[in-house]
Structure 1
Amino acid sequence: MKIQHRVLSIALLAAYAGGAFAVGPQPAPSPRKETLTIGYVKVGHLSPMMDVAEPLKACNVEVKPVEFVRYADARTALLSGSVDVSGIGPADLAIALSQGSDRIVGLSGVASSPKYLVVKKGVKLEDWADLKGKRIGIAPGSAVWFQWAATLTEKNIPYTSFTAVNIQGGGTAFVQALERGDVDAVAVWEPFESQLVAKNTAFFARKIEYSQSKAVGAELGLLAATREALKNKPEALKCFMWAYKSAEEKMAKDPEGFAQAYAKYTGLPIEVTRESVKLIKLGGVLDLPQLQRQAKTFNTLGIIPKDVSGTVNTVWDPSLAEAVMKR
């Protein structure tokens, strides 16, 4: 049975990666009226969130939305039980486990994209060798930083070969820092990468690609729920997963529709989101082996205090995502 379960997971992952989405019929409604408190993290690859509330009504589920700017805030809300389900960062399961909590359970990845260093126009920074002596804006502890640090480690590039400039706050702070000339380049996330490039302020250094490390990979985030919600509201969460995957499927097949939804969800100009969706591929690519590699690497890098790669399987359950997909 475990072998069959793993084969199914791999098959679904391959379908996501190839864009061959196959969402099944709407699940049966919850037998009683339920309320799901859902965390809405305002990042473009979670735009399908804006289309879940209406179909959930047909499942006898009312949505109570809570907005977050950062994954870290959504993780904290899940840990406290103030939300039932939310998007969080790929590293957040390992972070929570290392802090002694198994309350958050990952359900599905959400999207992937290539990650290129974004370089200020006029700066010579086109290959890894050009990093030496440059000022690179980073968000320490962010999902993007995990990708960046892991790639440097695998390429044996010393972190001291450049000047790391820690930037606090959201992506707008990165845009401002680059435009002011405080940094030569930034390791940032969408849509702020595309915003800088669309404004002709910067360019993608396409030879400095950092999303393909063996340790961290290209996943941009994941859907996660509290263990309590999985136990007490299983029908509501199954309907949520179906609604999310249905919206995800629709947007993945319609780039302009995705860009419009992205603009509405985040409040960004459509000309920025149209550029951003060229990079983002909806549909999760995360699986348990990747989570295990991440957990081990985060401990090696000193990001989390202990290696939880041996127990991260206890907080990963893709069965809901599998249940709403066509076989």
Structure 2
Amino acid sequence: MERAFQTNFKARMRRAGAAALMTAIAGMGFALSAQETLAQELEITELDFWAVRDAQMSGQIALASEMGFFEDEGLDVTVKWIVSGTDVPSLAASGEIVMTAESVYISAMLQEKGVDMRYMMPLSDVGGSQQVVLGPNTEVTAPADLEGKKIGMAAGAGVGMAITAMCEEYGVDCGKITLVNLQPPDQIPALVRGDIDAMAIWNPYALEGVKVGGRLYFSGNKSYIDGEEKEVDYMYLDGGLIVNGEFADENPETVKAVMRALITATEYFNSHPVEETASILTGTLDIPEEDLQKILSMNIYTNKVDDATVGKATTLLAYGGRPDIAWVNKVYTPDDLYYLDLMKEVAPELVTAEGF
């Protein structure tokens, strides 16, 4: 209880500011009592949350942990940081993960393998942070020059959708591009050595690639191919709350508490300057503050299940089910994968899509 007390006090001070100090002190006794009541209503209070250490999939998780939003809900959450979301399917299949944040297409992959991991709530639209960076010595004057070149990318990464869309727009033969399976930390050294000609990756690694002399070529929603920035619609990629089905059935109040904490974090992102949230998360995410400001600005943090979100998710899942892509062996739809019953209890105003 002492640790929870200290964490909540720090979070309360950050949110309320120094002007509310006396009010916060006066309310400490009540806050502790309220937290004890919350904990009694939850099936469990201690749980592990597996997440990629980045601002895309895990922005709200990091913020809720740092600001005490989980503790405010009576939860003691330990964040287990991993390098890449492509590791999630194997970890979930082994039973090691009961809660994570990943794309709806990862949920489709798990369901197809018979692993009951349910997509409970959107967290973000991170297409802008999925980027292709050319190497320092890579000569590309037109997209067709990518044919015959090597692009480093973690196998199954969503950024592959942006590459395919770019190829289709410019008539590039994707089959003539060699994709080299490399995890994010290994791509930058390979780019510098010239082992790969480009990397398809997310932030903060994409920014690091530019720092070592690489050139940002395009992202999920912006292109620099023609020498100037223009908006494109190469890909939608979401982050979302994914929970083990048996765990959700046995611990619905705990899951709802997690959802409330993440929604609070979303609201914080959207109501505070990016400079402020970057200063809070720079240590947790191990990303320089100036870089983190840029990354946070590229992402859209939202929990809405509206018609636009469902439409974009439908396109993403259709891409993953294509025979030439084959993330999964059939085309799933959001209706197959969204489990929104608990979200409707927590925040029914956020679920407005037709049919849901």
If the length of structure 2 is used for normalisation, what is the TM-score? Answer: 0.70
Q: 1:305 to 1:282 in 2, by over 3 A?
A: closer
Identical amino acids, percent of aligned pairs: 18
1:232 aligns with 2:254: no
Per-residue displacement from partner, 1:108-142 (whole Å, max 9, x unpaired)? 14232424421234544354234234332222211
* 1:6 aligned residue: none
Tell me what 1:204 maps to.
216
Please identify, of 281-290 and 265-274, the stretch whose mean Cα deviation from structure 2 is larger: 281-290
**Aligned residue for 2:293?**
274
Q: 1:42 aligns with which of 41, 45, 53?
A: 53
Distance 1:29 1:271, change over 3 A: same
Unmatched segments (≥5 aa) in structure 1 = 1-25
Q: Secondary structure, in 3 states, of the residue corresponding to 1:148?
A: helix
Q: Post-superposition shift, 1:150? A: 4.9
Task: Answer yes or no: is 1:283 the counterpart of 2:302.
Answer: yes
8 Å CA contact retained: 2:120, 2:338: yes
Q: Is the 8 A contact 1:36 1:64 kept in 2?
A: yes
Task: Please list the CA deviations of residues 146-175 of structure 1 after superposition, one character each: whole Å capped at 9, or x if unmatched.
Answer: 44235535665311343x241422x22111
CA RMSD, aligned part only?
A: 3.2
2:326 match? 303
Q: CA deviation at 1:316?
A: 0.8
Q: Structure 2 matches for 1:210-221, cutoff 5 A?
A: 212-213=233-234, 217-221=235-239
Q: Distance in 1 between matches of 2:110 and 2:169?
A: 25
Residue 200 and residue 47 in structure 1: after superposition, are their counterparts in 2 closer, same or farther (change >3 A)? Answer: same
Which structure shows the higher helix fraction? 2
CA distance in 2, matches of 1:90, 1:299: 13
Letter in 2 for 1:120: G
Q: What are the superposed Cα offsets for residues 219-241 of structure 1, whole Å, 9 maximum, x if unpaired? A: 24222111122212212211211
- Normalised TM-score (structure 1): 0.76
Q: Which secondary structure does the structure 1 equivalent of 2:48 belong to?
A: strand
1:186 to 199, 203, 219: 199
Give the aligned residue type for 1:298: G
Residue identity opposite 1:40 in structure 2: A
Question: SS in structure 2 opposite 1:137?
Answer: strand
What is the aligned counterpart of 2:339 among 292, 314, 317?
317
Q: Which is worse superposed, 79-88 or 229-238?
A: 79-88
Gaps of 5+ in 2: 1-33, 218-222, 350-356
CA distance in 2, matches of 1:82, 1:135: 34
* Whole-Å separation in 2 of the counterparts to 1:168 and 1:130: 22
User: Which piece of structure 1 moves more, 298-307 or 184-193?
Assistant: 298-307
Higher Rg? 2
Task: Supply the distance in 2 between the matched residues of 1:193 and 1:165 (Cα, whole angstroms).
Answer: 17
The amino acid across from 2:209 in the alignment is: L
Pick 1 or 2: higher relative contact order, CA cutoff 8 A, min separation 6: 1
Paired AA for residue 173 in structure 1: D
The corresponding residue for 1:128 is 143
Structure 1 SS opposite 2:97: coil
Q: 1:263 to 1:126 in 2, by over 3 A?
A: farther
